[in-house]
Amino acid sequence: MKNLEDVRREIENLRYGYVFSYKDYVTANCCKKDIQKIIGSMVIAGELKVLDGYRYYRPDRTIFGHIKPSFYQLVKDLMIVDGIVVGYLTGHSIYRKLYLTTEESSIIQIGTNHVKPAFERDDYTISFIKQENKITNDNIALLQVLDIIRYITDIPDTTISDSCECLVELLEEINLERKKELISLSMCYPPYSRALLGAILDESLNDGYTDLIMESLSPSECYNIPDAANALKYAKKWNLI
């Protein structure tokens, strides 16, 4: 069983930027008060930084100052609860990760089945986007792509045409089974999102794989996504205007 010195050594060896709570180390052999005393002394010594009332991290120092934890570390407690995945990063952080924009944002967005009010944490606003599909470790990357398509007009410092071209390249890299899963997940998204997905997939798919999307759409409905036609040769087929 761990003793207090074991706990101190373990905390000292945490990777930089890893966010933890004193609760992670409370055991029958290490009470809350003793753990908080160890952490408090490390905070005073500058070995740890306080994130909020009960969470901490080891700061990675550079010549420009210390580097804050990643977006994932900042909000992981909101995305994994009791070992179960209940949310995922989406929105601005994913736009930057996939090189759709270089613009930084003070908003961290989380996709979740149960939306909560936005709130402030550290220097960021944490907001939530409703996800109708069940969230699993395996489908998060696909849900992130579908969110990008859904909010493509909101991506800053770029054009819809450039974003569509990036998405075409991105989806060309995934295999057919993942594309089929993407199509299945898209059924919970708005019609204009499904139409845009169909036009993007048609750049690299054939043999009727996007027929399921087409069948889910009204043949008389048009979708106003300006500039998409400049990047997608099948935009007209999908009634994108």
Q: With the CA atoms of 167, 169, 173 and 177 taken in that order, what torsion angle do they form, in degrees rounded to the nearest 10?
A: 50
The region that residue 9 occupies, defined by phi over 0 for left and psi between -120 and 50 for alpha, beta otherwise, is: alpha
β pairing state of 107-112 and 87-90: antiparallel
More confident residue, 179 or 3: 179
CB 41 within 8 A of CB 112: no
Encode pLDDT of 88-119 as tens digits.
999 998 998 898 998 888 999 999 999 999 99
* Segment 60-70, tens digit of pLDDT: 877 777 788 99
154-190 pLDDT, tens digit per residue, is 999 999 999 999 999 999 999 999 999 999 999 999 9
| φ, ψ at 212 (rounded to 5°) | -60, -40
- Domains of the chain, start order: 4-67 (1.10.10), 76-148 (no CATH), 159-241 (no CATH)
Quote the distance between the C-alpha of residue 138 and its chain's center: 13
Three-class DSSP labels, 170-228? HHHCCCHHHHHHHHHHHCCCCHHHHHHHHHHHCCCCCCCCCHHHHHCCCCCCCECCCCH
Amino acid at 174: I
User: Rounded CA gap, 213 and 21, in Å?
Assistant: 45
